Amino acid sequence: MSIASLHVYPVKSCAGISVERALLTPMGLPYDRKWMIVDDSTGRAVTQRTHPKMALIRASLPPEAFTADGAPPAGAALTLSAPGAPGEVRVPLAIEGRPQLRPAKVWEWAGYAADEGDAAADFLSAFLGKSVRLVRYLGSGADAADAAAALAAEAIVAGGGVAGAEGAKASLSRAVDPEFVADGEVAFADGFPVLVACEESLADLNTRLQQPIPMDRFRPNIVLRGAGPAWSDDAWGGVRLGGAGVEVSLVKPCSRCTVPSVEQSTGVVTGKEPGATMMKFRSSSALGWAPRFPRNAHFFGNNGQPLGSGMLAVGEPAAVAGQVNWAAAA
């Protein structure tokens, strides 16, 4: 078994970047879902679930950004572009001085993130036809020090405030779901640092669909090849990846929403597939995983929590690390 491809999605729900090499850490691949687009008035995340054309917003980063261990490369920037939009927008990777903060919400989490300014907001608002802002995850790392001071001083862009350094720290970082991971941090991904998927499972799914779909519909971070029979990863408790053998705990099967119905190359919803077909044989009930997971959920790939750090490269080996039986857990 080997690593078939690696993918980073710098802006939540926007187009991804395929890379040949990347440094995996406990928070996932570099810059993955480091940014998200939020509603200007509510701070709530805007995603392909309601705005499928977000798939057309392209993000680019210099290749060295994915392999750097520490500070971003000097002068490096996130560049955003979109078809039909005038020009592009550059967002420096290095934060200079005290960031301006804005309330942000994704799923159950509500906190503060760094506002990336009017140029990015105007560009994205014009493309989406909705007043939005681009915000950056700060978390518990080095970027959060000045942000915590800003919060303590209530120096925020819009709405609300917190009291004290401890409250500031809590509202800048987001924990992985404690039901599955005891101690972990995740940026703006739906819930976990990485998503691991297998080519063989997609191949089997495509034999059941009238129109085959590419892997990008499922937006994985790490795609594996040579896993054996389709859906073998249902029973994996973890994987060891790359020459360094970085272990990733596969903490739960990934339940899927409606985003896989969006054609990523066009930003168009193509119908109810693949969800309708997957509900027939990949639902919690069909797999014997209810009531551990909701009966109306259906699954593709696994949510993962990296247990260490190490460089990964396409073509490097991968191996199963432990087994799990979700039917027994149910």
Q: What is residue 146's three-state secondary structure?
A: helix
Give Cβ neighbours of residue 202 (< 8 Å, ≥ 6 apart): 213, 215, 218
pLDDT level of residue 99 (50, 70, 90 thresholds): confident
Assess if residue 68 is contained within a domain. yes
Lookup: tokens for 211: 């129109």
Q: Sort residue 99 into left (φ over 0), alpha (ψ -120 to 50) or beta.
A: beta
pLDDT in tens, 78-90: 999 999 998 899 9
State which residues form the domain around 57.
30-158
In this structure, is residue 14 part of a structural domain? no
pLDDT tens digits along 209-244: 999 999 999 999 999 999 999 999 999 999 999 998
Which letter, b or e, does each residue of 3-13 get, where b requires 16 or more Cβ atoms within 10 Å of its Cβ? Answer: bbbbbbbbbbb
Q: What does pTM read for this prediction? A: 0.93
pLDDT at 96: 78
What mean pLDDT value characterizes the chain? 91
| Domain membership flag for residue 102 | yes
d(CA 12, CA 219): 11
How does pLDDT run across 63-72, given as a tens digit for each residue? 999 998 877 8
Predicted confidence at residue 101, as pLDDT, reads: 86
Q: What is the pLDDT of residues 269-320, one digit of tens each?
A: 999 999 999 999 999 999 999 999 998 899 999 999 999 999 999 999 999 9
**Is residue 170 situated within a structural domain?**
no
Top pLDDT among 319 and 328 is at 319
Q: What is the mean pLDDT of residues 122-127?
A: 97
Is 81 part of any domain? yes
- Domain for residue 24, yes or no? no
Q: Is residue 206 part of a domain?
A: no
Confidence at residue 162, expressed as pLDDT on a 0 to 100 scale? 42
Task: Give the model's pLDDT for residue 165.
Answer: 46
Q: How many domains would you assign to the chain?
A: 1
Model pLDDT, residue 164: 44
Q: At 115, phi and psi to the nearest 5?
A: -75, 135
- The string of pLDDT tens digits covering residues 155-207 is 555 544 444 444 555 588 899 999 999 889 999 999 999 999 999 999 999 99
Average pLDDT over residues 4-27: 97
So what's the pLDDT on residue 147? 59
Beta strands in 157-286 (DSSP E): 194-198, 222-225, 238-241, 246-255, 262-263, 268-269
A 10 A CB-CB count for 190 gives 20
Q: Is residue 63 part of a domain?
A: yes
Predicted local confidence at residue 240, as pLDDT: 98
- Assess contact for 37 and 133: CB atoms under 8 A: yes
